[in-house]
A and B are shown apart, each in its own frame.
Chain A
Amino acid sequence: LAKTTQPISMDSYEGQEVNITCSHNNIATNDYITWYQQFPSQGPRFIIQGYKTKVTNEVASLFIPADRKSSTLSLPRVSLSDTAVYYCLVGRILTGGGNKLTFGTGTQLKVEL
Chain B
Amino acid sequence: DTAVSQTPKYLVTQMGNDKSIKCEQNLGHDTMYWYKQDSKKFLKIMFSYNNKELIINETVPNRFSPKSPDKAHLNLHINSLELGDSAVYFCASSPSSGRYYNEQFFGPGTRLTVL
Contacts and interface: CB of A to CB of B under 8 A. Distances in A.
Contacts of A105: 42
What DSSP secondary structure best describes chain A's contact surface?
strand
A30 B103 CA distance: 15
A42 B109 contact: yes
Q: How big is chain B's contact interface, by range? A: 20 to 34
B3 to A, nearest CB: 10
Interface in B76-112: 90, 92, 94, 96-101, 103-109
Contacts of A30: 99
Given A91-B101, A97-B50, A97-B96, A44 B55 contact: no
Contact of B109 (A31, A41, A85): A41
A90 to B, nearest CB: 9
Given A43-B4, A106-B41, A49 B48 contact: no
Contacts of B45: 101, 103
Contacts of A98: 31, 48, 50, 55-56
Contacts of A46: 103-105
A8 to B, nearest CB: 10
Nearest to B91: A43
Contacts of B109: 41-43
Contacts of A87: 43
B108 A43 contact: yes
Interface of B: 4, 31, 41-45, 48, 50, 55-56, 90, 92, 94, 96-101, 103-109
Given A32-B100, A43-B107, A46-B105, 20 more contacts: A30-B99, A32-B101, A34-B103, A42-B108, A43-B4, A43-B109, A44-B43, A44-B90, A45-B106, A93-B99, A97-B96, A98-B50, A98-B56, A99-B48, A100-B56, A101-B45, A103-B43, A103-B44, A105-B42, A106-B43
